[in-house]
Structure 1
Amino acid sequence: MSRIRFNGKFKGLRLVCAAGALMTAFPATGQEGSLRGTVGDTYMDSTLRAGRGMEAAETPRTQYRPTSAGALPDSADEDGTLFPGTGSLTAEDPFPPLDRPASTRGSATAAENENRAEEAAAPSQEAEPAEQLDDLATGTARVGTIDATEGIRPLPLRTNERVEPIEGRARRTPEDDPYAPLGLRIGTFTVVPTLEQGLTWTTNADSSPGGEEALLSETTLRLNAVSGWSRHRAVLNGYGTYRKSVSGDDVSEFEGGADAALELDLRGDLSARAALAYAARRESASSPVAIAGVVRQPLRHTIDGSLGVEKAVGKLRLRVTGEVSRNQYGDARLDNGDTLSQSDRNSTLALVRLRGGYELSPALIPFLEVEAGRRFYDEERDSAGYARSATRLGARAGLSLDISEKLSGEVSAGWVAEDFEDDRLDTVSGLALAAALNWSPMRGTNVRLDGSTTVEGSTDAGDSGSLLYSGTLRLERQMRSNLTGDVALGAAWRDYSGGGHDLILSGEASLTWWLNRYAGLTGRARHERQKSNLPGRDYEATSIFMGMTLQR
């Protein structure tokens, strides 16, 4: 038993000796060495496989410098090492720190470590490339910081990018007015047709002092055309309205008209304007020359034409315009079935206007205008024996405005007179007012003011006629993209040469709700009232319209 025990002890002693020899050949540097840095593959191959300890450890290593700031702590112990008790490594240390050469290991101070940390925070141009630093790692590649963009590889491009269409069509943008009509392209003009159909209920079908209630079918067709020329401009407008009684007072009438305007830019300082208009409507029962005891008032045709040339001489604006206005009346139908001719009321007015203005600024041009002309009646004397042909004279002062797209138009005031050939007729004269202003205070809102002065003739014996002052203020508002509104206020004053007068007031409001770009529902209400100091001329009329509007 003792022999067996001895042999066991002997074997244990041999194992201890062998372990000591191995420890002598390979010192336990893992417990003594610093933990700083990483153990490279090169060192492991040279030491563990080839059995080279001190010789491989003494091979100079490339100095390690961290890529980003803050990789090393700011504090160190008194001997300048990162970990206490590791600053006394000698040259026999098989694992020298990789952040300094082998020749200086063991003698680094805290100041040197601090300097190295600052150099690592701000790499110089002499810093080793990232590829060389990776060789010192244990197979893990160091990733650069966000601000160190040189070492960052770009992301691969997407392979599923959207392919643009072959046509190269740009992306569509939302329309400013998605319910605006597109129009029809006819030659160089864009034509917008509009059809309005509905029912109108009115308390006074013919706007007469004794008018009756009626339900009318009302159809209106409008055409508007604008040229697409680059230098000149042309505008064409036309409308027609037909009313027919469905119940109540018997009404069957038509009214319509058309007008055209042409602006020509002949040269930089010379331009020309031409206009032509036609209107046909039945004489109103409230007209001062209305015929009593008739089934139907006569139809009145009006033709207006003008041609003018304007020239700029420095800041002066000179214009000459010729105008012609023609009034022609049809026959009136009496209650007994006979007809009454109105040919003695047919007349033609021809006159010339001269205007001179001075440009205070491109937006403000005050002007003075004079006119002279002659009114010719087709028949030398009317049915009462009066020679009504007359000489027309007038003068006015005004202001022309053109403030970008906000305000444009002109206003004027002056005096007008018509002196008849027949001495028994007094001269018709008075204040002449005119206005045509467009104002857009904000997008989608338009305000228009129209005013005029008209010399009206008469067929009564000894009556020279009257002056009619009329004005309309209209507000148009696009409340929503598919909802538009319109409000209009009108006033007229008729001054008879014999001392009488009429006051006509009117108001109208309408709404259109567009179902789409081509169709909408329209509602309209109107009230009109006339007061006169002459007997039998007062009346009131209220009407309501409901229908549908179609446009293209």
Structure 2
Amino acid sequence: PPRKRLKIDDDPFGAVGDYAGSFMVKTAVEAMAGYDTNPGRLYSPQGRAFYMVAPEFLAVSDWERHAVVADLRGSFTGYGSGLTPNADGTPLSAPLDIDRPNFTGHIDGRLDVSRDTHLLGQARLLVSTDNPGSPNVQAGLARYPIYTTVGGTFGIDQNFNRMQVSLGGTVDRTDYQWSKLTDGTSSSNDDRNFTQYGGVGRVSYELNPAVKPFVEVEGDSRFHDLYLDRNGYARNSSGGYVKAGTSFEFTRILFGEISIGYARRDYVDPRLSPLEGLLTTASLTWNATPLTTAKFYSDTQLGETTLPGTSGVLSRTYTVEVDHDFRRWLTGIGKFTYGTLDYQGDNRNDTIYSVSGDLIYKMTRSLWIKGTVRRDWLDSNQPGQSSASTVVMLGVRVQN
């Protein structure tokens, strides 16, 4: 009989991966070096050379029933000698170590009880620090304290013909290291540690194979280790959101998900006003041509803060990205991000902008060369808090 023709490879320079038992495993590591004109995001810039190492691990089960996916990504950015910021951006005599680790990982599992019933679970871990330029960064720090958020979700998906109902319970724990100060002492961050318990429900209906509208509701409660924070405010709170939207897919040319809703968080301390605002989320992809892809992302978050009298920060970000293959082995990526940070209960409002360009030369499936140029701005209505920075990076990506 004639031999079956192989499927055309959509990405001749994509990672192939290896099988480990019944799991398809793909790994990668990026090693970059460059220069940042203002890594501390200070009003008076202080530039530093840096390096970054970023490993990735992806494992996907290849089973007829049930599924497990592990997606682990991390990075470490080292700047060598420390910066010397003061509250107003002027130098201090003692340095600030601005090396920053980052890790985001989750393991998702699905147990197929029946054709219409699935049990779902997720374990997740986040490791990071406060962002440079954030008002949550303490004065007199010797280095940024690391925080970890570990959590899990357990839920169920039930299909009723075209309608799908999903319910889940969540628990997350956030812990901060003690802060090391430039005078050699340490400062506790126990008032920033908290445990969050919550639940989420979602109902969606498949109007047709391309359009699936949904309604989602979430509620949670946060309990801090210390009832009163460093400024005497009780920050235990309850909150949640409600949003409605749709996922869609039109012949793989335009697909994604978009929604709009409302989020609110109420605090035990009556001096803290509710943290609330319009909720906008989106993840859209448009395959304009076989060589050009445009993407749009939007997200809204209600975050914690240590500012006295301030409930929290309502942050919104919007990102537009265009990828173009000049050749199958040469890809250019342009990205623009706009965001707002509203510190409710305080008169501080920040606006962020970021413009970047990447050029990727794919030598083989396993080895890429990458170059990046990025410009970041933070425009604050508070005197001495605005900043700008230019970042240039060059490095390699090794993948399998």
Q: Normalised by the shorter chain, which TM-score bucket?
A: 0.7 to 0.9
Q: CA deviation at 1:502?
A: 0.7
Alignment match, 1:240: 74
Rg larger for: 1
- Name the SS for the 2:113 alignment partner: strand
Structure ranking higher on relative contact order (CA contacts 8 Å, 6+ apart): 2
- Is residue 261–residue 276 contact of structure 1 (8 Å, CA) maintained in 2? yes
Structure 1 Cα separation of the partners of residues 78 and 113 of structure 2: 48
- Is residue 377–residue 387 contact of structure 2 (8 Å, CA) maintained in 1? yes
Q: CA deviation at 1:531?
A: 0.4
Matched, 1:205 2:39: yes
**Aligned residue identity for 2:17:** G
Structure 1 Cα separation of the partners of residues 4 and 242 of structure 2: 57
- Is residue 215–residue 244 contact of structure 2 (8 Å, CA) maintained in 1? yes
User: Where in structure 2 are the equivalents of 1:243-282 lying within 5 Å?
Assistant: 243-245=77-79, 249=83, 251-282=98-129
Alignment match, 1:540: 388
The 1:251/1:429 distance shift into structure 2, 3 A limit, reads closer
Alignment match, 1:520: 368
- Name the SS for the 1:344 alignment partner: helix
Structure 1 Cα separation of the partners of residues 8 and 166 of structure 2: 44
Post-superposition Cα deviations, 1:273-327, rounded to whole Å, max 9, x if no partner, equal 3333212122222223121221212112123432332222233332212223332
Matched, 1:214 2:48: yes
- Name the SS for the 2:148 alignment partner: strand
Alignment match, 2:14: 180
Structure 1 Cα separation of the partners of residues 41 and 152 of structure 2: 30
Q: CA deviation at 1:538?
A: 0.4
Structure 2 Cα separation of the partners of residues 353 and 172 of structure 1: 44
Structure 2 Cα separation of the partners of residues 173 and 392 of structure 1: 49
| Structure with greater proportional strand content | 2
- Is residue 98–residue 144 contact of structure 2 (8 Å, CA) maintained in 1? no
Q: CA deviation at 1:176?
A: 4.4
Q: CA deviation at 1:346?
A: 0.9
- Is residue 98–residue 143 contact of structure 2 (8 Å, CA) maintained in 1? no
Structure 1 Cα separation of the partners of residues 227 and 37 of structure 2: 42
Equivalent position to 1:196, from 27, 30, 44: 30
**Aligned residue identity for 2:75:** T
Is 542-551 or 370-379 further displaced after alignment? 370-379
- Is residue 314–residue 341 contact of structure 2 (8 Å, CA) maintained in 1? yes
**Aligned residue identity for 1:539:** S
- Is residue 39–residue 132 contact of structure 2 (8 Å, CA) maintained in 1? no
Equivalent position to 2:340, from 488, 493, 504: 493
Structure 2 Cα separation of the partners of residues 172 and 321 of structure 1: 42
Alignment match, 2:93: none
Q: CA deviation at 1:450?
A: 2.8
The 1:246/1:342 distance shift into structure 2, 3 A limit, reads closer
Q: CA deviation at 1:504?
A: 0.6
Is 521-530 or 474-483 further displaced after alignment? 474-483
Post-superposition Cα deviations, 1:227-279, rounded to whole Å, max 9, x if no partner, equal 22234443322223222336785643322222223344433322343333212
Is 238-247 or 390-399 further displaced after alignment? 238-247
The 1:258/1:523 distance shift into structure 2, 3 A limit, reads same
Structure 2 Cα separation of the partners of residues 486 and 229 of structure 1: 35
In structure 1, list runs of 5 or more residues that go unmatched: 1-163
Post-superposition Cα deviations, 1:35-61, rounded to whole Å, max 9, x if no partner, equal xxxxxxxxxxxxxxxxxxxxxxxxxxx
Structure 1 Cα separation of the partners of residues 399 and 155 of structure 2: 34
Alignment match, 1:551: 399
User: Where in structure 2 are the equivalents of 1:224-373 lying within 5 Å?
Assistant: 224-245=58-79, 249=83, 251-373=98-220
Alignment match, 1:430: 277
- Name the SS for the 1:268 alignment partner: coil
Is 508-517 or 300-309 further displaced after alignment? 300-309
| Structure with greater proportional helix content | 1
- Name the SS for the 1:546 alignment partner: strand
Structure 1 Cα separation of the partners of residues 133 and 165 of structure 2: 41
**Aligned residue identity for 1:300:** Y
Alignment match, 1:510: 358
Structure 2 Cα separation of the partners of residues 433 and 172 of structure 1: 43
TM-score normalized by the length of structure 1? 0.65
Alignment match, 1:100: none
- Is residue 213–residue 248 contact of structure 1 (8 Å, CA) maintained in 2? no
The 1:220/1:356 distance shift into structure 2, 3 A limit, reads closer
- Is residue 508–residue 524 contact of structure 1 (8 Å, CA) maintained in 2? yes
The 1:436/1:351 distance shift into structure 2, 3 A limit, reads farther
Q: CA deviation at 1:446?
A: 4.0
- Is residue 407–residue 438 contact of structure 1 (8 Å, CA) maintained in 2? yes
**Aligned residue identity for 1:486:** I
- Name the SS for the 1:296 alignment partner: coil
Alignment match, 1:78: none
The 1:257/1:176 distance shift into structure 2, 3 A limit, reads closer
Alignment match, 1:59: none
Post-superposition Cα deviations, 1:333-378, rounded to whole Å, max 9, x if no partner, equal 2111111111101112222122223332222222222222211112
**Aligned residue identity for 1:202:** D
- Name the SS for the 1:284 alignment partner: coil
Structure 2 Cα separation of the partners of residues 237 and 382 of structure 1: 35
**Aligned residue identity for 1:507:** V
- Is residue 377–residue 389 contact of structure 1 (8 Å, CA) maintained in 2? yes
The 1:551/1:211 distance shift into structure 2, 3 A limit, reads same
Is 202-211 or 540-549 further displaced after alignment? 202-211
Structure 2 Cα separation of the partners of residues 244 and 551 of structure 1: 22
Q: CA deviation at 1:545?
A: 0.5
Structure 2 Cα separation of the partners of residues 259 and 327 of structure 1: 16
Q: CA deviation at 1:444?
A: 4.9
The 1:348/1:405 distance shift into structure 2, 3 A limit, reads farther
- Is residue 321–residue 352 contact of structure 1 (8 Å, CA) maintained in 2? yes
Q: CA deviation at 1:551?
A: 1.5
